[in-house]
């Protein structure tokens, strides 16, 4: 809708003699400022014709009003020319003009556009009929839409790889990893909603000094937490306990490395043996590596993520070293004190070592092999997105440039999507010191908090409107399902609702607040909508048989609360497209919270079922069997149809929106 309005205004400006300009249309938070608004007049007003931006805005308003009148008169007389009907541009312009109710101008030159009630209601009706995630086609015509999102010639969908999660074996899966996987999952779903084919990749560190430190701890340190004499005894522990054991051993090995020169030397020897696949330590390495991978899979299942390809450092260190030496022969790299470096200073970047003096590829050198594997295995990729913390910004600037010069990945294809640290009161977590906050611990704590809320809440559906439909107490399995899904929603939403690059100080109490800006609040609102539809016998209908139209024979005179919800529903496709374009799940979070607030305010103020208010605006209307509302207690009029349709559309948008955030809905809470 936004791009249609932008095109309409751009054409009017062209007719007014204004040079070609890009019109930015936004959605104002305050509904009194319109359903859409633009400040284009304030950007381009300086010309001989207009002394103030307000003058230009008024001219645009008059043109829209005059064109609206002309279109409506033609439609009324049924004299629209066939040539107009066959001209897609004119037809689209005519359609958007029919959808505009009026335009207001606000100083110093804002154009505030209000849609007709018919448009709002028809958009809701379209949402009800749409079984797929809405917003798919929006980016094809979105202003400033990056080329890697747009579909190619013949409708070929662009191919994107998202590389995310990145936990290292033999180390903890901490809350930073949880934010990473939450961010990556949502970005993937947003891109898929716009028609992109997305390949899910996970690059994991399974070689290096952190492995040697952990193995040293296993071989030399007695566990104080687990009563096991050897790693073979530790193998009998549960998957989670085995990983906790590895975490304890890694912390012990790191401490020894920092404090004991002899231990530091021994850890270095273990690292060399690992690269040489020495049988003395390699069997231990393989077994404990699998412990980590098994645990990671359990986490992925819990948070609803999966991967198409797992890459490991152990796959890329040898080919990475060869690629660097080949680049050295081409003059792309240079030798320095026995090492091979990339002379980044030539390109305004840092100089970085790609192969050490010992002949081993560094992280940078391994990255070259990783990029080669990704691009050869999956064919042409239009975009590769790396979801990685801010500390790697300089790293990626250098490796992207090196890969470009080597001809591995063209310029502009790769993007480092930064996510901010999740901080504790004493700073960011560290698995080296043993005080790491595990991702699963955070999920479990949120689940405990949800359980506490469920235990002190009466055993009835908290989304219930009235005692008309009795509820039996929740069973233990129902409580566990609610607590688990709400806990995952609480953690994910708390990560996603802030800007991706922003740091987070996680607050469990705030994240599980059913009355605030939280995942459980959105789940609760969805459950409330579904409760209403169940009472109206619409809960199981795949597509509620609601046909509501504005204008003659339909509902007119929306109240402010109804219009507020309908207005937000209309914006959903644009919001999804914008969130995908900007890699910004927070944009969608803000929208869904506003929609839930708006619906709950409407719900609290107006009766949806029953006949106290609903018979007033449409006296004498017959009960509609087509609605599937067969309960004789309810007198169903057009207003009830509208409100039930509004409720069903809100539920669908919440479900679709939560899916895009990687959050499951709950039918009851």
Encoded tokens for 178: 């949880």
Spatial CA neighbour of 650 closest among 517, 546, 494: 546
Domain 439-660 in this protein, CATH class? mainly alpha
So where are the chain's domains? 2-115, 206-307, 439-660
Encoded tokens for 108: 């110093």
SS (HEC) of 76-143: HHCCCCHHHHHCHHHHHHHHHHHHEEEEEEECCCEEEEEECHHHHHHHHHHHHHCCCCCCCCHHHHCC
- Mean pLDDT (the chain, rounded): 84
Map residue 385 onto helix, strand or coil. Answer: strand
What's the pTM? Answer: 0.87
Please provide the CATH number assigned to the domain covering 2-115: 3.30.1360.70
| CB atoms inside a 10 Å sphere around CB 607 | 15
Encoded tokens for 392: 């790697």
Spatial CA neighbour of 132 closest among 656, 665, 574: 656
**Contacting residues for 224 by C-beta, under 8 A, at least 6 apart:** 248
Spatial CA neighbour of 641 closest among 567, 518, 550, 512: 550
The reply to whether 439-660 shares the fold of 2-115 is no
Q: What is the pLDDT of residue 583?
A: 97
DSSP state of 426: T
What's the CA gap between 383 and 527, in Å, rounded?
37
Spatial CA neighbour of 242 closest among 298, 204, 315: 298
Spatial CA neighbour of 245 closest among 166, 168, 172: 172
Residue 335 backbone dihedrals phi, psi, to 5 degrees? -90, 145
Which stretches of the chain drop beneath a pLDDT of 70? 45-49, 69-94, 131-157, 424-435, 457-472, 538-556, 610-638
Would you list the DSSP string of 124-188?
A: HHHHHH--SPTTTTGGGG-TT--TTTS--GGGPPPEEEEE---PPTTS--BHHHHHHHHHHHHHH
Q: What is the pLDDT of residue 641?
A: 84
Q: What is the pLDDT of residue 520?
A: 97
| CB atoms inside a 10 Å sphere around CB 568 | 24
Spatial CA neighbour of 199 closest among 153, 148, 164: 164
Are the C-beta atoms of residues 285 and 211 closer than 8 Å to each other?
yes
Are the C-beta atoms of residues 590 and 497 closer than 8 Å to each other?
yes
* pLDDT tens string 244-290: 899 999 999 999 999 999 999 999 999 999 989 999 899 999 999 99
Q: What is the pLDDT of residue 625?
A: 35
Rg for the chain (alpha carbons), in Å?
30
Are the C-beta atoms of residues 342 and 400 closer than 8 Å to each other?
no
Contacts 24+ apart (CB under 8 A), 224-227: 224/248
Would you list the DSSP string of 603-617?
A: HHHS-SSSSTTTTTT
What's the CA gap between 28 and 113, in Å, rounded?
10
Sheet with 352-355, edge to edge strand ranges: 334-336, 339-342, 352-355
Are the C-beta atoms of residues 178 and 303 closer than 8 Å to each other?
yes
Are the C-beta atoms of residues 158 and 197 closer than 8 Å to each other?
yes
CA–chain centroid gap for 229, Å, is 45
Spatial CA neighbour of 35 closest among 625, 570, 572: 570
Are the C-beta atoms of residues 160 and 198 closer than 8 Å to each other?
yes
Q: What is the pLDDT of residue 551?
A: 43
């Amino acid at each position: 809708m936004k791009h249609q309005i932008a095109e309409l205004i751009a054409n009017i400006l062209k007719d007014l003699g204004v040079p070609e300009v890009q019109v930015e249309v936004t959605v104002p938070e305050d509904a009194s400022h319109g359903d859409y608004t633009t400040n284009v007049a304030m950007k381009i007003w300086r010309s001989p014709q207009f002394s103030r931006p307000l003058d230009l805005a008024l001219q645009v308003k008059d043109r829209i009003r005059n064109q609206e009148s002309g279109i409506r008169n033609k439609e009324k007389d049924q004299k629209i020319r066939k040539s107009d009907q066959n001209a897609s541009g004119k037809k689209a312009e005519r359609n958007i003009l029919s959808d505009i109710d009026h335009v207001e101008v606000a100083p110093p030159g804002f154009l505030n556009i209000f849609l007709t009630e018919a448009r709002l209601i028809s958009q809701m009706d379209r949402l009800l009929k749409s079984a797929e995630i809405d917003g798919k086609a929006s980016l094809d015509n979105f202003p400033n839409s990056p080329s890697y999102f747009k579909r190619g010639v013949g409708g070929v969908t662009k191919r994107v790889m998202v590389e995310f999660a990145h936990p290292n074996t033999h180390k903890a899966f901490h809350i930073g990893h949880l934010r990473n996987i939450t961010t990556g999952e949502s970005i993937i779903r947003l891109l898929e909603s716009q028609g992109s084919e997305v390949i899910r990749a996970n690059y994991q560190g399974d070689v290096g000094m952190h492995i040697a430190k952990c193995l040293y701890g296993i071989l030399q340190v007695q566990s104080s937490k687990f009563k096991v004499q050897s790693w073979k005894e530790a193998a009998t522990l549960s998957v989670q306990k085995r990983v906790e054991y590895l975490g304890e051993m890694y912390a012990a090995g790191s401490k020894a490395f920092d404090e004991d020169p002899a231990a530091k030397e021994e850890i270095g020897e273990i690292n060399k043996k690992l690269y040489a696949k020495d049988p003395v330590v390699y069997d231990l390495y393989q077994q404990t590596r699998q412990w980590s991978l098994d645990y990671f899979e359990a986490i992925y299942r819990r948070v609803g993520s999966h991967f198409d390809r797992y890459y490991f450092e152990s796959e890329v260190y040898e080919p990475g070293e060869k690629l660097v030496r080949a680049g050295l022969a081409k003059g792309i790299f240079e030798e320095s004190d026995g090492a091979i470096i990339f002379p980044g200073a030539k390109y305004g970047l840092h100089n970085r070592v790609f192969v050490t003096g010992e002949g081993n590829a560094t992280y940078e050198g391994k990255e070259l092999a990783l990029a080669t594997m990704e691009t050869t295995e999956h064919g042409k990729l239009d975009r590769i997105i790396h979801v990685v913390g801010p500390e790697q910004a300089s790293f990626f600037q250098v490796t992207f440039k090196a890969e470009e010069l080597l001809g591995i990945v063209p310029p502009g294809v790769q993007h480092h999507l930064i996510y901010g640290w999740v901080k504790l009161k004493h700073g960011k977590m560290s698995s080296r010191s043993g005080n790491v906050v595990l991702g699963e611990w955070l999920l479990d704590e949120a689940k405990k908090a949800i359980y506490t809320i469920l235990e002190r809440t009466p055993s009835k559906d908290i989304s219930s409107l009235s005692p008309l439909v009795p509820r039996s107490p929740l069973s233990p399995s129902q409580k566990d399902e609610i607590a688990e899904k709400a806990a995952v929603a609480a953690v994910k939403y708390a990560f996603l609702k802030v800007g991706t690059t922003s740091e987070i100080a996680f607050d469990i109490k705030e994240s599980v607040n059913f009355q605030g800006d939280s995942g459980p609040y959105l789940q609760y609102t969805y459950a409330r909508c579904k409760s209403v539809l169940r009472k109206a016998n619409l809960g199981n209908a795949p597509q509620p048989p609601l046909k509501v139209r504005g204008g003659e024979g339909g509902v007119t005179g929306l109240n402010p609360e109804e219009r507020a919800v309908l207005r937000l529903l209309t914006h959903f496709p644009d919001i999804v497209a914008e969130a995908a374009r900007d890699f910004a799940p927070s944009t969608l979070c803000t929208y869904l919270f506003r929609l839930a607030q708006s619906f709950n305010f409407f719900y609290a103020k107006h009766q949806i079922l029953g006949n106290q208010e609903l018979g007033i605006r449409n006296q004498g209307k017959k009960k509609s069997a087509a609605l599937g509302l067969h309960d004789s207690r309810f007198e169903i009029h057009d207003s009830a149809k509208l409100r039930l349709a509004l409720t069903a559309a809100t539920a669908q948008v919440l479900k679709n929106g939560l899916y895009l955030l990687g959050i499951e809905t709950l039918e009851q809470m």
